[in-house]
Amino acid sequence: ATVAFAVVPAIRYTNHGLRQVPPALIEAAKVSGCTRRQTFLRVQLPLALPEIMLGVNQTILMALAMIIICAMVGTRDLGQEVFIALSKADSGRGIVAGLAIAFIGIVADRLFNAWTAKA
């Protein structure tokens, strides 16, 4: 369920990023003698990389949101801690588990932003 829920942003942002590559650049690559593979790897993919990384970032955040919902079904992960805290009205345990999930999301966001800016 987590994969099915979280993979959608990655697909949509990748599609959007590849469609936003200017046709003039693709045409220039073809005129220069690039094959379809070279055009994809050396022109389209680098220009679409910020959108693709945004999709990966959103996928991670959607997966983190889904782990709490999956805990209601009976999975054993960090989401189960939040679910147990909610069921027992233990606000301290819920805050700690919720902050851990938020911290994972923030760290993932910062890592992917730094990697995208570096590339």
What is the per-residue pLDDT for 61?
A: 84
3-state secondary structure of 20: coil
What is the per-residue pLDDT for 16?
A: 93
Query: Is 101 within 8 Å of 61 (Cβ atoms)?
Result: no
Q: What is the mean pLDDT of each run of 10 residues along the chain (119 residues)?
A: 83 92 92 92 90 87 79 72 77 80 83 74
Q: Quote the domain boundaries for residue 6.
A: 2-118
What is the per-residue pLDDT for 53?
A: 86
What is the per-residue pLDDT for 33?
A: 92
What is the per-residue pLDDT for 102?
A: 82
Residues in the chain: 119
What is the per-residue pLDDT for 14?
A: 92
What is the per-residue pLDDT for 118?
A: 67
What is the per-residue pLDDT for 93?
A: 75
Angle formed at CA 63 by CA 58 and CA 67, multiple of 5 degrees: 150
What is the per-residue pLDDT for 70?
A: 74
What's the CATH number where 6 sits?
1.10.3720.10
Specify the amino acid at residue 41: L
Please give the tally of structural domains in the chain: 1
